[in-house]
Structure 1
Amino acid sequence: MMSEELERILARLTEPDNAVIQQATAELKQAFKDPAIIPALCALMTESQNPQSAAVMLRLRVRKHWKKISPDHRESLKAVVLQHMIEIYFFNYYTVCSHISTLNSVQVGLLLLSKVVGSNPEPFKPHYKQLLQLFGTVLQDLNNPTALYYCILTLTAITAYTGTEEMNLMRSLIPKLLIALKHLIQADQDHASEAMEVFDELMESEVSIVVPHIAEIVRFCLEVCLHILIVIITCLFLNLLKAVLKHKLLQPILQVVFPILSAAPPPGEEDPEDEENDTEGDSENPKHFAVQVGLFTCFTLPFTQTCLSSENPYERKGGLMCMAVLAEGCADHIRTKMLSSMLQTVCRSLSDNNQVVRSAALFALGQFSEHLQPDVSKFHAELMPLLHGYLSAVNQTKIGHMTKAFYALENFLENLGPEIEPYLPTLMETMLSALNNAENLKLKELAVSAIGAIANAAKEMLVPYFPPIIESLKGFLTDTREEMRTLQTQALDTLSVLARTVGKEVFSPLAAECVQLGLNLTDGVDDPDLRRCTYSLFSAVSDVSPDCLAPHLTPITTVMLLSLKSTEGVMAHLDEDKPFVLLDDDDADDEDEEGDVDLDEESETEVDDRDVAGFSVENAYIDEKEDACDALGEIAFNTGVAFQPFLESSFQQVYELHDFPHEDVRRAAFGAMGQFCRAQHKSASRPCQSVIHSLPIVVLPCFLEAVRQDRERQVVMAILESMNAVIKSCQGEALQAPGILAEISNTIKDVLKKKVRI
């Protein structure tokens, strides 16, 4: 009976009479207070002549009140929606399309399918063949871009879950998919851009599906979308270079990419990386996408050489930019066969009469210094005078150009080691002059950063210059002006490097003062970058003078644990789909009438009410958590017994981050847990309580599970290194749990046999 009444109410919502609509809305709000509304809407969606309104209302209720729906109604809803979408809308698609008046129903059906499948694709696996057959039909309906859009979204969702049974059907869809995307681009570029993600998924999950269609896909991307082309080229060059060469696709790809790479900017403008300002350039422009092609293949070298010999400065710049990324992607080839000649080219370009070329040469030299070590350091006699002379000659008001010069110098110095000695006096004269005399704070920041690189190479050789460096750094760290924040962050980083490099005898007298400087900054400034740098300073001091840190462990661990717990910087992204708003006004009233609400359920309702589609965290807060984990682990190990009162609370908070979404935080958390185990073993003479009494029993199974389950290579490598350190330090204590030795052995075997997920 309720279904019939509900159908009449929904029908009146479409009447061209405001009074009727208002009355129907009031009745609908009242009906929504009845728990039987869910089965009634399900019945209408499957039995009504006009199911669209029922589907919209059902979606509204599900999205905003899922936790309040009874378990029985939830299960029946899943079954009804799944059966209805597959058996009625989609398997009768031909019938639906033959009646133009029901075309909107097809779009609504595809919309609902994309939402349901997108939220959990795996339960649909038994129906993948039928769905793929349906998609083959939908993709040919080129006059219905909305249907194409939702069809492609659903295809994207199931791609990662398809198996060998669906492979042939998937392959047959590729030509239809390309044609459909071309039409979708003309109809709605925003929808087309989102639909293009199907290529990402295909390349990530089922690259073998696209192999027979490589030529068609590349030509499509050359015509319509450079960004997607770069994604595809990345996968092709990493996995299917032979197929690219077989289909003779390399030449047309490079012929499209290189003109983009070497194009001059519009008259009166500059490329973002050539602008003279303190900020980094826009990395999302076509040139930066194009230059990434050079990362994967040395076949670009003939094009590069042609660019370098051009009279056009932007073509010379393009050649240098390509050489720069080749240093990363083709390091072994360059190191063994081409390093000397490429360095000569870069050195000549540093004297080019055009500044954009000189800037590109500096970038290339910085890339060489970063990716071609230790071979590139052998050329220090030629490069160091050139770099220092260049730095001295650059107009200091051109901060953008100075930044590139310091970048090249730092990367080269970092790995120079003892060979830096003959250059140290002139280098330090330049750096100290910048610290004392430069008016631009960015220039001071660059000099402070360079001193850190010099310290890594020179170590104790820097001691004669230590007093003036420290005086400058202390002055920066006690300045309370807001504009000093970035310089203070860099000063803390360099101070940490100095603590680890100049020797304990030199730095220890300053250790207590450095700790107090760090605490003053964490108390007085709310900035995640500044906090993470103070954490690094504390851990460096713990290595040099742990006794100086021990009296301050309470405030230090307190602020670090707050960083680990913090949700600051977390941003909710709202769903762009605008919900039906007729019922929103009474949501608060509904809450009141239903009485007390469980706090957990209430918080979830708040999230639902805001239509949150997902969350992201600002990079600075991710870095803060990562550095807090690293620092806590090192401080725990270095301070030993003094850290024991803080070990349990620190371990529990770090342990909660072992499944954190960001891989860098997970890596740091696993590393810290290993350090905690070693710290506990090191301080075994002090009685322990609670979980701390047997840390390895908790930590090692967590490590082993993560080795098998984590998808990030760097995380798994860090876990294995940490596990190795724990077993070496704790020895028999680490292997007391029954069966743990066999589990460790089996896991190592699986890693060696490539049976883990990475």
Structure 2
Amino acid sequence: MAGILESILTNLLQPDNAVIQQATAQLKEAFKDPAVLAMMCEVLTASSNPQIRQFAAVLVRRRLTKHWKQVNLELRENLKSLVLEAIQREPEHKVRHAVAQLAAIILKNETLQKWPQLLHFLQQASRSSVPEQRQVGLLLLSTVVEASPEAFQPHFRDLLRLFHQTLTDRGNKVVLHYSIQTVTVMVSYMGTDEMNLMRSLIPKIISAIRELIRLDEVQAIEAMEVFDEMMESEVSIIIQHLSEVVHFCLEIAANRELGDNLRVKALSCISFLIKLKSKAIVKQKLLAPILNTLFPIMSAEPPLGEMDPEDNEEQDSDMEEDAEVQTPKHFSVQVVDMLALHLPPEKLFPQLTLLMEPALLSMNPYQRKAGLMCLAVLSEGCADHIRHKHLQPMLQIVCQALGDENQVVRNAALFALGQFSENLQPDISNFSEEIMPLLLNYFSSLEPSHIGHLEKVYYALENFVENLGPKIQPYLPTLMERVLASLRESERNRIKELSVSTIGSIATAAESLLLPYFPAVIEHLKGYLVNTHEDFRPVQIQSLETLGLLARTLGKDVFLPLSEECCQLGLSLSDQVDDPDLRRCTYSLFGALSLMMGDSISSHLEKITTLMRLSLKSTEGVVTHYSENISFLLFDDDEAEEEEDSQIHDEEIEDDDPDIEGFTVENAYIDEKEDACVALGEIALNASGAFIPYLEPCFEEVFKHHESPHMNIRKAVYETLGQFCRALHKVCQNSPPQQNSAALQKMLDLVFPVYFKAIQEDKERLVVMSILEAMNDIIKDCKSTAMQDARRLGEICQVVRLVLQQKTCCQDPEAEDGDDDDGQQAEYDSMLIEYAGEGIPLIALAVGGQMFAPYFAGFLPLLLSKMKPNSSSSDKSFAVGTIAETVQALGPFSAQFLPRLLPVLLAGAREDNEEVRSNSVFGLGVVVEHGKEAAFEHYPKILGVLSSIIAQEENIRVKDNVCGAVSRLIMTSPERVPVDQVLPVMLKSMPLKDDFEENTTTFNCIAFLYKENPEQVVQHMKEIVRIFSHVLGTEEIKPETTATLLLLLKDVAQRFPQELQNAIMSLPADKATKINTALAAP
């Protein structure tokens, strides 16, 4: 029978489909014979054809994977002996590998205790003096450890001692390769006892990979996965040898003789280390060597006659695709981006400037390009630092580069301007008068055939105009004329796509200013949306996205009449076109329409939610990667199984197919799931009660993805879960049946625990920020309802405290003490702490001052630690702002904290930074307002500080806050304030120019003084009427404040008519008319 089987396998390898089909049927029939397994083993050991031997090993392994319990004990023992003999005799590496995988399956079922011969064989072979036997031993060891790592845990120390020997086996690439592969598997299963042995192994791992680079770059790349595994699982292993690892990776990255894939792998390791251990990178003085290696790579010229992909005008490009090109040059820029995201700007800028400045002045265009690319990627991670200290000179450099003689430099300048526009808001919009003429001139002078460069112009233009707001008005006619002309005249779909996208950005800024152009825009979009040609699909998708943006920006009056038609269009396209990008944009459109339609979208909710849940469930876009060792058709005996006892399947072990190396998901399908989540949350909030019938199934489907491996999906899931909670609370508020209230508590009981766990364990700062923001929104909306569980207040405060203490996983909690003693942090690290701090006053409002005061006592030392002399301005501003808002929320229960807060706030009011001064002055006011008697003795000191500030302050927001603080002091204890001196000074600073929230406080103070002492106020009636005429009818004051002031003036009209009339007559005619009209109203 063995001969017949070999003949069947030979036919399965023929390049003839008819022969393969016949052989497949024969093999299925053969597998019905219980003796086939033994016969297949005979083929494995006896065939002269290595492909047949490999095929037989694979088939036996697959059979055993599914049917081990059917194999009798005698055959099991025979199989154990057979594989060990076969792997020793086998000369072909691919067959050895297949036999090793067969051994791994046997071990998975039998355990080491039942197969002592395996352990003995591994010990003998891996230590053999014969090189080829060592290769066999290490190959088998690597394979069985990968399949059953837990089984080998008791032997880890012995294995690590073994690797201390095998990793010095120079010239034997198989031994080196499989030694490192085994170590890679072991890393995540190690206990504390093995850590020291593993640490001492790192220098030998580096030497072994260096040898592999010489022998086989592909295997060297695979071997470098050991560093990834250490960083993912036990980064502490690497820290002791951080400098060695970084310098080794830099050595590889800098070597232009090596392949791009290997150099990129080395740069990837450095990037990952920066993300995880930025403080150690700085402390061990590795920043300079990293930058000194990166810059020559970034500024390298392409081979003669070639261009960098993003500068090639011969082909269409995509900014996002360009960013993902895996070459050392592009990845070096990404490493600088990672440095900007994870290092304090104060550490990075001085060292990077030493390299950027000469590069930007160089005669070599690729040096200038490298300098501009650095400026571009700095703008995300170091945004605050640039906005406050470097924006004007950096922007000047970029604008000058837009006129560079070299196209390569101009491309980089456009990319940098786009990045600046995206990350340096709102400050960069103040330079619109300089930048917009440059961009418009650029836009009009380009050849449409230069599509690559044109894309970069669109990229810069879109990002800049999107955030202009009303400042877009002078440029709107020219912009729309040129964009609409492109739509009318261009034959190229890519230009149409870019133009439609730009309309969305213009609409975001222009809002109602776009209305005159809306008929022309919607006419174009209607044509594009119904064009179903495959090559026109990108324009159709972009048109959907822009339609959603128009719905959001132009509002109900314009879009509500179109909303039903748009809904039907979105549903129709989702049915007709199977494209994840189109579905994603459709979901975004539904979200936008729900803003206008509210619960009137209810008739479409069943279809809409079904589509989105299907997208979340879908496994489309999942790509399976198979081992390269299996290059022929694999027989699958599933059909034969169906004829056997179905109960066997319930008892069999899970099939971890070793032929499958891994899975990836195409980005478009990840984006589709993300946008489905986002839209479901938005629709739930906007549709309110109409969404309730669909809430539970949508919640269940979204909840399943909260541990997705994809960061953006997790982020969207956590945000959406929060929106579901808020939507259900909103329904409970409007109609409070007990059923909905119970459902809300059940939902909160599910959501809060996953929030708490992810805040502590998720490795991505952006995900944790999104959770904190979602949690804050729940607390803000639901208030005490969110705190009905008695444990929840303590649990929420605990996770907030952990973030403030920098003890969560994404904050490098294992950093050595003293690593950041200088108080400097990466901006995103500071932002994360700010997100946590924003929740503190919200919690206080939710539970009340009396209950929250003990928790605030615990937070206070953490907040005050941000006020040290060496703390950054942003940290100080955050701390005093959080303290002030929490004092407001605590109300009278804040008085106990006054002695600790007052010195800090008085010092903050004298700080150089205007944000710190502004927040501190606001804090002084609220501390006095709520501290009352406890604050009285401090009035002279506080008034002295406020008086000195108002006398010399230039910042309008600080001045506004001084007015607010003085008003609070007056209303708390007027007899302790020299009102006759203070009031005229305060009125001269009014109306407020920036912090309009304090208008309520200042006008209430005037009303309070009038009630206490009318004559004291009436003598300043001209000033008061002047101020009121300015704010009346504007959004600068709230309706209730307007009502208070009108009551005051009407009372003055009764009691002091002449003074009021004189005051009104002193106004310009239009202002006087406005006041008189308001007074005449009932």
TM-score, normalised with respect to structure 2 = 0.61
Query: Residue 140 of structure 1 aligns to a residue in which SS?
Result: coil
Query: Residue 614 of structure 1 aligns to a residue in which SS?
Result: strand
- In the aligned structure 2, how far is the partner of 1:589 from the partner of 1:245? 60
- In the aligned structure 2, how far is the partner of 1:528 from the partner of 1:12? 47
Deviations 1:373-407 (A, max 9, x none): 23322221111111111111111221111110011
Give the alignment partner of residue 139 of structure 1, picking from 167, 175, 179.
167
Structure 1 residues 86 and 669: alpha-carbon distance in aligned structure 2, compared to 1, 3 A threshold? same
- In the aligned structure 2, how far is the partner of 1:340 from the partner of 1:589? 71
> Which residue pairs with 1:290 in the alignment?
332
> Which residue pairs with 2:721 in the alignment?
673
CA contact (8 A) 1:89 1:109 kept: yes
1:51, distance to aligned residue in structure 2 (A) = 6.3
> Which residue pairs with 1:3 in the alignment?
none
Deviations 1:272-323 (A, max 9, x none): 0012232334611222123334433432333323232233333322332233
Give the alignment partner of residue 40 of structure 1, picking from 70, 77, 94.
77
CA contact (8 A) 1:648 1:691 kept: no
Query: Residue 543 of structure 2 aligns to a residue in which SS?
Result: helix
> Which residue pairs with 1:522 in the alignment?
574
Matched ranges for 1:15-94 at <5 A = 15=46, 34-36=71-73, 39-40=76-77, 44=81, 59-60=101-102, 63=105, 76-80=110-114, 89-90=122-123
Query: Residue 240 of structure 2 aligns to a residue in which SS?
Result: helix
CA contact (8 A) 2:177 2:219 kept: yes
The answer on 1:303 being equivalent to 2:355 is yes
Q: Tell me which amino acid in the other structure corresponds to 2:678.
A: D
- In the aligned structure 1, how far is the partner of 2:275 from the partner of 2:638? 54
Structure 1 residues 532 and 57: alpha-carbon distance in aligned structure 2, compared to 1, 3 A threshold? same
- In the aligned structure 1, how far is the partner of 2:694 from the partner of 2:86? 67
CA contact (8 A) 1:45 1:55 kept: no
- In the aligned structure 2, how far is the partner of 1:46 from the partner of 1:14? 9
Deviations 1:167-196 (A, max 9, x none): 543343333223222222232222111102
> Which residue pairs with 1:152 in the alignment?
180
Q: Which moved further from structure 2: 230-239 or 459-468?
A: 230-239
**Taking every aligned residue pair, what percent have the same amino acid on both sides?**
48
> Which residue pairs with 1:217 in the alignment?
248
- In the aligned structure 1, how far is the partner of 2:566 from the partner of 2:39? 75
CA contact (8 A) 2:613 2:698 kept: yes
The answer on 1:192 being equivalent to 2:184 is no
Matched ranges for 1:365-380 at <5 A = 365-380=417-432
1:516, distance to aligned residue in structure 2 (A) = 1.6
Structure 1 residues 171 and 186: alpha-carbon distance in aligned structure 2, compared to 1, 3 A threshold? same
Alignment coverage as a number of residue pairs: 733
Structure 1 residues 701 and 311: alpha-carbon distance in aligned structure 2, compared to 1, 3 A threshold? closer
The answer on 1:640 being equivalent to 2:688 is yes
1:49, distance to aligned residue in structure 2 (A) = 10
CA contact (8 A) 1:41 1:55 kept: no
- In the aligned structure 1, how far is the partner of 2:426 from the partner of 2:139? 56
> Which residue pairs with 2:14 in the alignment?
none
> Which residue pairs with 2:146 in the alignment?
118
Give the alignment partner of residue 386 of structure 2, picking from 334, 344, 351.
334
Structure 1 residues 134 and 354: alpha-carbon distance in aligned structure 2, compared to 1, 3 A threshold? same
The answer on 1:275 being equivalent to 2:325 is no
Give the alignment partner of residue 702 of structure 2, picking from 654, 658, 661.
654
1:362, distance to aligned residue in structure 2 (A) = 0.7
Structure 1 residues 577 and 16: alpha-carbon distance in aligned structure 2, compared to 1, 3 A threshold? closer
Deviations 1:641-694 (A, max 9, x none): 222222222222222222333222222223222222222232233865899474
Q: Tell me which amino acid in the other structure corresponds to 2:644.
A: E
- In the aligned structure 2, how far is the partner of 1:732 from the partner of 1:591? 58
Matched ranges for 1:693-732 at <5 A = 694-732=746-784
- In the aligned structure 2, how far is the partner of 1:74 from the partner of 1:365? 57
1:261, distance to aligned residue in structure 2 (A) = 2.5
Deviations 1:432-491 (A, max 9, x none): 222223222211211221121122222222222222222222221122222221112111
Q: Tell me which amino acid in the other structure corresponds to 2:597.
A: S
CA contact (8 A) 1:677 1:726 kept: yes
Q: Tell me which amino acid in the other structure corresponds to 1:191.
A: Q
Q: Tell me which amino acid in the other structure corresponds to 2:586.
A: T
Q: Tell me which amino acid in the other structure corresponds to 2:611.
A: V
Deviations 1:204-251 (A, max 9, x none): 513313235357525642445532442344356567779878988766
Structure 1 residues 360 and 603: alpha-carbon distance in aligned structure 2, compared to 1, 3 A threshold? farther
> Which residue pairs with 2:980 in the alignment?
none
Matched ranges for 1:343-354 at <5 A = 343-354=395-406
Structure 2: gaps spanning 5 or more residues: 1-36, 91-95, 340-347, 811-1082
Query: Residue 571 of structure 1 aligns to a residue in which SS?
Result: strand
CA contact (8 A) 2:600 2:687 kept: no
Structure 1 residues 417 and 219: alpha-carbon distance in aligned structure 2, compared to 1, 3 A threshold? closer
Q: Tell me which amino acid in the other structure corresponds to 1:630.
A: V
Higher relative contact order (CA 8 A, sep 6+): 1
- In the aligned structure 1, how far is the partner of 2:46 from the partner of 2:82? 20
> Which residue pairs with 2:1009 in the alignment?
none
- In the aligned structure 2, how far is the partner of 1:199 from the partner of 1:532? 36
CA contact (8 A) 2:104 2:143 kept: no
Deviations 1:10-64 (A, max 9, x none): 689545779xx99xx899999986332675157538997976789965743765x
Query: Residue 704 of structure 1 aligns to a residue in which SS?
Result: helix
CA contact (8 A) 2:299 2:369 kept: yes
- In the aligned structure 2, how far is the partner of 1:476 from the partner of 1:565? 30
> Which residue pairs with 2:263 in the alignment?
226
Structure 1 residues 604 and 418: alpha-carbon distance in aligned structure 2, compared to 1, 3 A threshold? same
TM-score, normalised with respect to structure 1 = 0.86
Structure 1 residues 169 and 273: alpha-carbon distance in aligned structure 2, compared to 1, 3 A threshold? same
Structure 1 residues 513 and 589: alpha-carbon distance in aligned structure 2, compared to 1, 3 A threshold? closer
Q: Please say which structure displays the higher CA radius of gyration.
A: 2
Query: Residue 521 of structure 2 aligns to a residue in which SS?
Result: helix
Q: Which moved further from structure 2: 724-733 or 621-630?
A: 724-733
Structure 1 residues 457 and 79: alpha-carbon distance in aligned structure 2, compared to 1, 3 A threshold? farther
CA contact (8 A) 2:83 2:103 kept: no
> Which residue pairs with 1:596 in the alignment?
646
1:715, distance to aligned residue in structure 2 (A) = 2.5
Q: Which moved further from structure 2: 363-372 or 399-408?
A: 363-372
Query: Residue 616 of structure 1 aligns to a residue in which SS?
Result: strand
The answer on 1:108 being equivalent to 2:160 is no
CA contact (8 A) 1:535 1:628 kept: yes
CA contact (8 A) 2:221 2:265 kept: no
Deviations 1:121-180 (A, max 9, x none): 566555433222211100111132111101111222333555664454334333322322
Q: Which moved further from structure 2: 455-464 or 234-243?
A: 234-243
Structure 1 residues 313 and 244: alpha-carbon distance in aligned structure 2, compared to 1, 3 A threshold? same
Q: Which moved further from structure 2: 745-754 or 625-634?
A: 745-754
The answer on 1:620 being equivalent to 2:658 is no
- In the aligned structure 2, how far is the partner of 1:268 from the partner of 1:360? 20
1:740, distance to aligned residue in structure 2 (A) = 4.0
> Which residue pairs with 1:178 in the alignment?
206
- In the aligned structure 2, how far is the partner of 1:257 from the partner of 1:725? 42
- In the aligned structure 1, how far is the partner of 2:204 from the partner of 2:645? 54
Q: Tell me which amino acid in the other structure corresponds to 2:704.
A: E
CA contact (8 A) 1:218 1:229 kept: yes
> Which residue pairs with 2:834 in the alignment?
none
Deviations 1:87-116 (A, max 9, x none): 6524x578x423x2xx54433332333234
> Which residue pairs with 1:757 in the alignment?
809
